[in-house]
Amino acid sequence: MTYQGVFKVKSSPSLCSSLGFISLLYYLLIRFPKGIPRLLLLPLIIYLFYLIPWYSSSSLLRGVSSFFLTWVASFKLLLFCFDQGPLANCKSYLDFVLVSIFPLKIKENQTPSNIQFMSLYESVSLFNKPYLATSLQDFWGRRWNRYSSNILRMTIYDPTRKTLRGIVGIQSAKVIALILTLVVSGIMHEMLFYYITCAKKPTWEVTWFFVLQGLCMALEVVLKKLARANGWTQVHPAVSRSLTCGFVVATFYGLLVLPVWRNGQNDCGFR
**Phi, psi values for residue 264, rounded to 5°:** -70, 145
What DSSP line would sit under 64-129, residue for residue?
HHIIIIIIIIHHHHHHHTTT-SGGGG--SHHHHHHHHHSSEEEEEEE-TTS-EEEEEEEEPP--S-
Write 43-46 long-range contacts (CB < 8 A, 24+): 45/74, 45/77, 46/70, 46/74, 46/77
- Most confident range, picked from 37-41, 125-129, 230-234, 244-248: 244-248
Indicate if the pLDDT at residue 123 is higher than 90: no
pLDDT confidence band for 260 (50 / 70 / 90): low
Q: What is the pTM of this model?
A: 0.76
> Residue 17 has what pLDDT?
55
Tell me which of 79-88, 110-119, 150-159, 252-261 is least confident.
110-119
Indicate if the pLDDT at residue 156 is higher than 90: yes
pLDDT confidence band for 3 (50 / 70 / 90): very low
Indicate if the pLDDT at residue 89 is higher than 50: yes
Tell me which of 5-14, 57-66, 165-174, 219-228 is least confident.
5-14
Which residues 6+ apart lie within 8 Å of 91 measured at CB? Answer: 106, 118
> Residue 215 has what pLDDT?
87
Greater pLDDT, 261 or 255: 255
Indicate if the pLDDT at residue 137 is higher than 70: yes
Q: Which residue ranges make up each domain of the chain?
A: 1-124, 128-271
